[in-house]
Structure 1
Amino acid sequence: MSERILVVEDDHKIMRFIRANLVASKYTVFLAQDGIEALDLYEEHLPDLILMDLMLPKMSGLQCIEKIRQYSNVPIIIITAKGSSQDIIQGLELGADDYIVKPFDINELIARVKAVLRRSSSTVAVNEPTIEVGSLYIHLTNYQVMYANKKVSLTPTEFNLLVELAKNLDCVLTHEYLLSHIWGQDYINETHYLRVCIARLRKKIPINDGEKGFIQTIPTVGYKMLG
């Protein structure tokens, strides 16, 4: 069964262009022209990935992402014509996994779709079924995270980043190492992805500085989790 992608775009020409190329790449494609329709189609089809334009009628792409993240960790790639770093960062902070700016090369878009889907379906090598760090429990076999006896909902990228840090307690992992291992070699200089993802982890898992499990910033170098 082919992977399913929901394309949310109000420009008909761009929508048809994206759809044709995704279908040619063997994906099943659903189309939405506004944010309200996007939410309805997501609930109906439960796609494996969403391509989300930011400038949409009825409900903006950012509002749509915020609503989807209340109940789903489906991978989301932002498509924006603005090229505005503020909009992009806001989208990533809301839980988007990647972005691409119009006008874009269709081969780059397909490559990003493949990369995000690969990250979302990647498996973690399991030696021990659970990693325990203070009040943080990471269940590797069923991809669940518990903190202070409460379940924490993470996107696949957030989960993989948390596991990488937890497997290397008290070790400084450089920006380049984390970006290449979690996002891929093509993202090795995209430090804002890492910065935003770390910020989301700290918000979802509010461990105090100095406690076990806290993700410590090593300025200009990288991050480490305290053990």
Structure 2
Amino acid sequence: MSDPFVTVVLIEDDPHICRYVRMSLQEEAMRVLDVNTGQEGIAMTASARPDLVIVNLGLPDIDGLDVIRQLREWSDVPIVVLSGRTRDEEKVAALNAGADDYLTKPFSVAELEARIRALLRRQNRCVIAESATVSFGSITVDLVARSVQCDREIVHLTPLEYRLLVALVRHAGCVMTHHQLLQEVWGPSHAENAHYLRIYMGHLRHKLERNPAQPEHIVTETGVGYRLVGVR
């Protein structure tokens, strides 16, 4: 990562992990501000206005979920959870609280850096006008014309399939939980109907993936939701 002005707030109470992450991200030309309590992390985020926050859930003063909720009351900064909690319910709780991504310990720093890059790309896309055209693989989505092409041939999607694809595009690189997708595409009254999601996700993969059984772009985060990868 070549941008020397990317600032990351790291909220982590384990000094070994803190040092490991800080040194790794600094090698990628990022400025890392590390603190070891949730309250310090909230204050640091408010004062430094970072490009991204990394937060552990098991903090000594307040739970990381509370940190995420408090940050989301006034900030849309990308948040990555770095936690030893591995249960699906805990991942879903963090994502529903407002986190953008979740990485479990032990972790690969290369994967952490890749997910940070994806979130920063997404953040940059958020300021692009609604006329943006996005691509992944051989697929191009024109958000103004509301059209989808594969190798320059029109792909016919139903209105629900298109809304589902747009939801994934707008959160490209990030995990969207089943609950989030159902609310965004079908509305609150269908927020628990996960079978709808499986059916329509299968339709999308059949129309957009080269091998629907082994998708390259619309990937499953087991027990949590889906992620669109490879958007450029």
**Length-normalised TM-score, structure 1:** 0.65
TM-aligned CA deviation for residue 90 of structure 1 = 0.5
Aligned twin of 2:26: 23
Q: Pick one of 55, 58, 67 that aligns with 1:55.
A: 58
3-state DSSP of counterpart to 1:77: strand
C-alpha distance in 1, partners of 2:129/2:74?
Answer: 27
Q: Is the 8 A contact 1:8 1:31 kept in 2?
A: yes
Per-residue displacement from partner, 1:120-151 (whole Å, max 9, x unpaired)? 11154544xxxxxxxxxxxx9xxxxxxxxxxx
Q: Pick one of 178, 188, 207 that aligns with 1:195.
A: 178
3-state DSSP of counterpart to 1:51: strand
Q: Summarize the Cα distance change of 1:82–1:166 in structure 2 as closer, same or farther, 3 Å threshold.
A: farther
Aligned twin of 1:170: 159
Q: Pick one of 192, 199, 212 that aligns with 1:220.
A: 199
Q: Is the 8 A contact 1:172 1:218 kept in 2?
A: no
Task: Return the letter of the residue paired with 2:106.
Answer: P
Aligned twin of 2:11: 8
Q: Is the 8 A contact 1:8 1:35 kept in 2?
A: yes
C-alpha distance in 2, partners of 1:4/1:90?
Answer: 26
C-alpha distance in 2, partners of 1:75/1:126?
Answer: 20
Per-residue displacement from partner, 1:19-60 (whole Å, max 9, x unpaired)? 000000001110110101101111110111001100001111
Per-residue displacement from partner, 1:87-128 (whole Å, max 9, x unpaired)? 11001001110010000011011101111111111154544x
Per-residue displacement from partner, 1:165-189 (whole Å, max 9, x unpaired)? 99478252386786477424xx7xx
Q: Is the 8 A contact 2:68 2:99 kept in 1?
A: yes
Task: Return the letter of the residue paired with 2:10.
Answer: V
Number of residues of Structure 1 aligned to a counterpart in Structure 2: 175
Query: For residues 112-123 of structure 1, what are the structure 2 equivalents within 5 Å?
Result: 112-122=115-125, 123=127
Q: Summarize the Cα distance change of 1:175–1:9 in structure 2 as closer, same or farther, 3 Å threshold.
A: same
Q: Summarize the Cα distance change of 1:64–1:73 in structure 2 as closer, same or farther, 3 Å threshold.
A: same
Aligned twin of 1:155: none
Q: Is the 8 A contact 1:174 1:221 kept in 2?
A: no
Q: Is the 8 A contact 1:179 1:194 kept in 2?
A: no
Aligned twin of 1:144: none
Q: Summarize the Cα distance change of 1:208–1:55 in structure 2 as closer, same or farther, 3 Å threshold.
A: closer
Q: Is the 8 A contact 1:93 1:200 kept in 2?
A: no
TM-aligned CA deviation for residue 195 of structure 1 = 2.1
Unaligned runs of 5+ in 1: 128-139, 141-162, 210-216
3-state DSSP of counterpart to 1:118: helix
Identity rate, percent: 26
C-alpha distance in 2, partners of 1:52/1:219?
Answer: 31
Aligned twin of 2:95: 92
Task: Return the letter of the residue paired with 1:61.
Answer: G
Q: Is the 8 A contact 1:6 1:42 kept in 2?
A: yes
